[in-house]
């Protein structure tokens, strides 16, 4: 994919998520174009950060992640483990945890973002993540527990109890 097309899509996301800066006092966005396969836009708040991105490939597409910052920076992406804290949560997990009905299906998320798809994700973040965006992290404990329980249930469903244990769950 051409870099100018990716830059245009990143600009759309920046416009739709500008409320992070104007309403919640987050930093100016930092944009990174990932070769010819995608982009991400990062915003830093006092205790949480938001990454909006799009990646080309299987099981990829438009995504939003909320991160518990470490020393004012995004933590490294790490595999979820039962004995380690989770610092990065995707918006989809937060929506599921809260019982929020998504506006977009997987097909819409797979396409390069436009005003409609980026706007829908921004609205969802604003509704589902408002407390987190304001720095209230009290939701993270229950969300983390729910994410770990969901992951374990998926592993058991696909691999059985013994398989889940082999993966450390």
107-139 confidence digits (pLDDT tens): 999 999 999 999 999 999 999 999 999 999 999
| Residue 92 confidence (pLDDT) | 95
| Residue 59 confidence (pLDDT) | 67
Looking at every residue in the chain, the average pLDDT score rounds to 95
Q: Which residues of 85-122 are buried (b: 16+ CB within 10 A; e: fewer)?
A: ebbbbebbbbbbbeeeeeebeeebbbebbeeebbbbbb
> Residue 60 — very low, low, confident or very high, per pLDDT cuts 50/70/90?
confident
In a domain, 163, yes or no: no
In a domain, 115, yes or no: yes
| Residue 143 confidence (pLDDT) | 97
Containing structural domain, residue 63: 3-135
The residue among 32, 39, 97, 43 whose CA lies nearest residue 67 is: 43
Q: How many Å apart are CA 66 and CA 132, to the nearest integer?
A: 8
In a domain, 65, yes or no: yes
Whole-model pTM: value is 0.93
Q: How many Å apart are CA 95 and CA 101, to the nearest integer?
A: 7
Q: How many CB atoms lie within 10 A of CB 63?
A: 17
| Residue 1 confidence (pLDDT) | 75
In a domain, 43, yes or no: yes
In a domain, 120, yes or no: yes
| Residue 133 confidence (pLDDT) | 97
| Residue 58 confidence (pLDDT) | 66
Reply yes or no on whether the pLDDT at 167 is more than 80.
yes
Domain count, the chain: 1
pLDDT tens string 24-55: 999 999 999 998 899 999 999 999 999 999 99
| 120 and 104 Cβ atoms separated by less than 8 Å | yes
pLDDT tens string 73-89: 999 999 899 999 999 99
| Residue 136 confidence (pLDDT) | 96
């Amino acid at each position: 994919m051409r870099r100018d097309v990716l830059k245009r899509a990143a600009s759309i996301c920046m416009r739709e998520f500008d409320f992070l800066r104007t309403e919640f006092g987050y930093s100016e966005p930092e944009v990174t174009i990932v070769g010819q396969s995608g982009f991400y836009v990062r915003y830093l708040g006092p205790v949480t950060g938001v990454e909006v991105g799009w990646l080309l490939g299987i099981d990829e597409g438009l995504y939003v992640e909320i991160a518990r910052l470490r020393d004012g920076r995004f933590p490294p992406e790490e595999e979820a483990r039962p004995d380690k804290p989770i610092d990065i949560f995707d918006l989809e997990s937060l929506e599921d945890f809260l019982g929020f009905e998504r506006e977009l299906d997987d097909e819409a998320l797979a396409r390069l973002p436009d005003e409609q798809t980026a706007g829908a994700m921004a609205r969802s973040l604003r509704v589902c993540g408002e407390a987190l965006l304001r720095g209230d992290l009290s939701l993270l404990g229950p969300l983390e527990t729910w994410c770990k329980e969901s992951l374990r249930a998926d592993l058991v469903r696909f691999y059985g109890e013994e398989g889940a244990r082999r993966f450390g769950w």
